[in-house]
Amino acid sequence: MTIDILTLFPNMYQGIFDESIIKRAIDEKRVEINIHNFRDYTLDPHKKVDDTPYGGGAGMVLTCQPIFDCVKSLRREDSIVILMTPDGEVYKQKRAYELSKCGHLILICGHYEGFDERIRSICDMEISIGDYVLTGGELASMVLVDSIVRLMPGVIEEDSHVNDSFNNNLLDYPTYTKPRVYEGMEVPEVLLSGDHKKIEEYRREMSLQRTKERRPDLLEK
Ligand code: 6GU
C-alpha cells in the first residue's frame, strides 16, 4: 500500500512513523508513506495557499489550486482520496478494515479556518476522528495511518486483531499475566483451568458484560 499525506506541516510527522509496528511495516515494504507539503504546488508567486472567504468572515481559507494540482500529480487508478475534516463521517474500525485493503490512499489535511468547498469535489470520502475540533487534520491522519497499517496482512499476527475491541461491536475481554496474585488481586480461576471451551465462554461473557456497562450503544447495533 502507498499512503500519500498532503499537509502544510510536514514536520509534525517527524518521528511518528519511526517506531514500533508502523516502522517495521515500512521497513518490510508492506507500506510506503510519503508526506507532501502542498505549498510546494502553489502557483502563487508569494507561495500563498490560502485567501479571504467570499462573503466575508474571519480567517483564511485554503485555496483549490495547490491541493487540486498535488492530488492530480499523485492520483492513480486505484487511489482513494480522503479529506480529513471534523464534518466528515465519524471514523470506525469497520472503515479501518476496508481501507486496509486499498492500494493507494491520499489523505488531505485541512488547516486554518477552513478550505474552499470545491476541494470536496476531488475527494472520495471525508473522515472525522471524533466529535471535537483539532487545529488541523494532521493528528487525525496519523490516527488513520496507525489504525489501517496494523490491519494490513502480515503486519501483526491476525490473532492479535481478530479479538480487538470493536470487532463484532464488542469491547475486549480482560487479560492477565503473571503473577497469579498481585497485591491481593487474583487472576480468575477459569483462566488457569486449561479448559479452552470454558475460557472462551468466560471471555465472551466478559466482553458482553463490559460492553453493556461501558458502551451500551454498541450492543444496539
Ligand atoms: Cl479530521 N480534523 C480536524 N481539524 N478536527 C477533527 C478531525 C479532523 N476529526 C476530529 N476533529
Give residue 199's domain range: 163-219
pLDDT at position 134 is: 96
Question: What's the pLDDT tens digit per position in 172-207?
Answer: 999 999 999 999 999 999 999 999 999 999 999 999
116 shares its domain with 209: no
Query: Is residue 215 domain-shared with residue 153, that is, in the same domain?
Result: no
Residues 36 and 88 in one domain: yes
- Quick one: what percent of the chain has pLDDT higher than 90? 91
Distance in Å, CA 37 to ligand 1 centroid:
19
- Pick the catalytic residue from 32, 78, 87, 113: 113
Enter the C-alpha cell of residue 55.
Answer: 462573503
Q: Which of 134, 135, 145, 147 to mutate to test the pocket of ligand 1 (most atoms within 8 A of CB)?
A: 134
Omega before residue 179 within 30° of 0, cis: yes
Strand (E) or helix (H) holding 139: helix 138-149
Say how far apart CA 203 and CA 205 lie, in whole Å: 5
173 and 95, same structural domain? no
131 neighbors 29 (Cβ within 8 angstroms): no
Query: Which helix or strand (DSSP H or E) is residue 58 part of?
Result: none
Residues 154 and 168 in one domain: no
Of 158, 177, 209, the residue at which a domain comes to its end is 158
Of 117, 139, 116, 120, whose CA–CA distance to 129 is shortest? 139
Is the same domain home to 125 and 180?
A: no
Q: What does the alpha-carbon distance between residue 156 and residue 24 come to, in Å, rounded to a whole number?
A: 10
Q: Looking at ligand 1, which atom is closest to the CA of residue 134?
A: 5
- Going by C-alpha positions, the residue among 123, 131, 136, 127 that lies closest to residue 93 is 127
**Structural domain tally of the chain?**
2
The one catalytic residue in 86, 126, 146, 210 is: 86
Pocket of ligand 1 (CB under 6 A): 84-86, 128-130, 132-134, 136-137, 140
Ligand 1 centre to CA of 17 (Å) is 20
Give 178 Cα–ligand 1 centroid separation in angstroms: 40
**Annotated catalytic, 113?**
yes
Query: In the chain, pLDDT over 70 holds for what percent of residues?
Result: 100
State pLDDT tens for residues 93-109. Answer: 999 999 999 999 999 99
Contact 136, 129 (CB under 8 A): no
CATH of the domain at 29: 3.40.1280.10
pTM for the full model? 0.94
Domain shared by 137 and 29, yes or no:
yes
Residue-wise pLDDT tens digits, 121-178: 999 999 999 999 999 999 999 999 999 999 999 999 887 787 787 878 999 999 999 9
